[in-house]
Amino acid sequence: MEKRGSGGRGEAVVAPTNVGPLFRVPPTGGEAVAVTRLEAGQSHRFPQFQPDGRHFIYTVFGGPAQGVYASSLDGGLSKRFANADAPVVLSPSGFLFFLRQTSLFAQAFDFKRQELSGNPFPVAEQAAFDAGSFASGFSVTSGIVAYRTGSGGGAQQLTWLDRSGKNVGVIGGPDIANLRDVDLSPDGKRVAVSRAVDGNQDVWFIDTARGVPTRFTFDAAIDGWSV
């Protein structure tokens, strides 16, 4: 579950799953109410309240409508105001921080109009991002930016081991697509893995002899746990 702050009356906006809408939770607990409308194949994540405690931003992953949106606790229509392949951070001072590949940028955000203004400008280079969990390695507060360099987990290498644990070969080359859920076929000719490419997680097959990955699922939703 993800939670990013609380509203002016103590409400919270949470993402209880990684494939559903966002929910509003009363300060005293009780029934959670959806405040965003989920389209097929979407995931609504990383809500952050704006200073007024009523409006918030969040990121939509999956499908042609992927990007950053502004909405409010009353569940009104959401407004898309930016592209995004990774989570963003909105500072109380009115700047949206976001990644373009490994470069961290900032751009002014107009709280009244609920949209970006001016031009983006670079803040830092080689900022980390984990493509598998969609987690950015930076934080912003009170005019200070903290960030981690490198990649979230780095390149991974599928490796053959014998029964003694000795390295006896590799499958393909180093992969930066955050390999997960590895499953070898009974004949040993293919490996099914979950890979995150262009912000979307899908099941891929890798030929163990040639090391070539082939995409198997194409849904805009998050696909994994191959069998």
The pLDDT of residue 154 is 67
Does the pLDDT value for residue 226 go beyond 60? no
Residue with tokens 């400008």: 121
Three-class DSSP labels, 14-61: EECCCCCCCEEECCCCCCCEECCCCCCCCEEEEEEECCCCCEEEEEEE
**What do you get for the CA distance between the two ends of the chain, in Å?**
26
- How confident is the model over 11-22, as pLDDT tens digits? 888 888 777 899
- Does residue 121 register a pLDDT over 70? yes
Q: Does the pLDDT value for residue 61 go beyond 80? A: yes
Residue ranges and CATH numbers for the domains of the chain are 2-123 (2.120.10.30), 156-215 (no CATH)
| pLDDT mean over 185-193 | 87
pLDDT, one tens digit per residue, over 191-208 is 888 888 877 788 899 999
Residue 9: left (phi > 0), alpha (psi -120 to 50), or beta?
alpha
The pLDDT tens digits of the residues spanning 133-158 come to: 666 778 886 667 887 776 555 678 89
Mean pLDDT of the chain: 83
What is d(CA 5, CA 186) in angstroms, rounded to the nearest whole number? 48
- The two tokens of residue 118 are 């001016």
pLDDT-derived band at 220 (thresholds 50, 70, 90) equals low
Q: Do residues 156 and 174 make contact, with C-beta atoms less than 8 angstroms apart? A: yes
Percentage of residues in the chain having pLDDT higher than 70: 86
pTM of the model: 0.66
Q: With CA atoms as reference, report the closest residue to 125 among 96, 100, 155, 153.
A: 100
Provide the sign of the torsion angle of the four alpha carbons 119, 124, 125, 130, taken in this order. Answer: negative
Distance CA 88, CA 50 (A): 13
| Mean pLDDT confidence for 10-34 | 84
Whole-number percent of the chain with pLDDT over 90: 31
Q: Which two tokens stand for residue 58?
A: 């969040």
pLDDT in tens, 69-93: 999 998 778 999 998 877 899 998 9
Q: Which residue has the higher pLDDT, 106 or 64?
A: 106
